[in-house]
Amino acid sequence: MFAIVNIAGQQFKVRKDDQIFVHRLEGNVGDKVAFSQVLMTGDENSMSLGGKSVDAEIVDHLKGDKVIVFKKRRRKGYQKSNGHRQYLTKIKINGIA
């Protein structure tokens, strides 16, 4: 069984025991979280819309890979380099209720 759930403004297709990276969530490592914005659930034969929830556990808080942002204007002598690392949370899906 799978579910398409909205977590922190992004949609993810999740199954039981999946581990995914989402934008930073409030809570400590080991806390249980529940997501009620389930858009669709289904299995191989049937689909249903909404009405369920997804239970998960926070595994870790970390930072993503560095993204380099480089800006340049030709023939103007303008160059600017900037970097960014996104704060992420790794969660493990415990079940779809």
pLDDT tens-digit profile, the chain (97 residues): 999 999 999 999 999 999 999 999 999 999 999 999 999 999 889 999 988 999 999 999 999 999 999 999 999 999 999 999 999 999 999 999 8
- Give the CA count within 13 Å in the CB-facing half-sphere of 95: 2
Q: What's the predicted TM-score (pTM) here?
A: 0.83
Q: How many CA atoms lie within 13 A of 91 on its CB side?
A: 28
Nearest alpha-carbon partner for 43 in 15, 64, 62: 15
Q: What is the pLDDT of residue 50?
A: 84
pLDDT of residue 66: 97
- What is the reported pLDDT for 51? 82
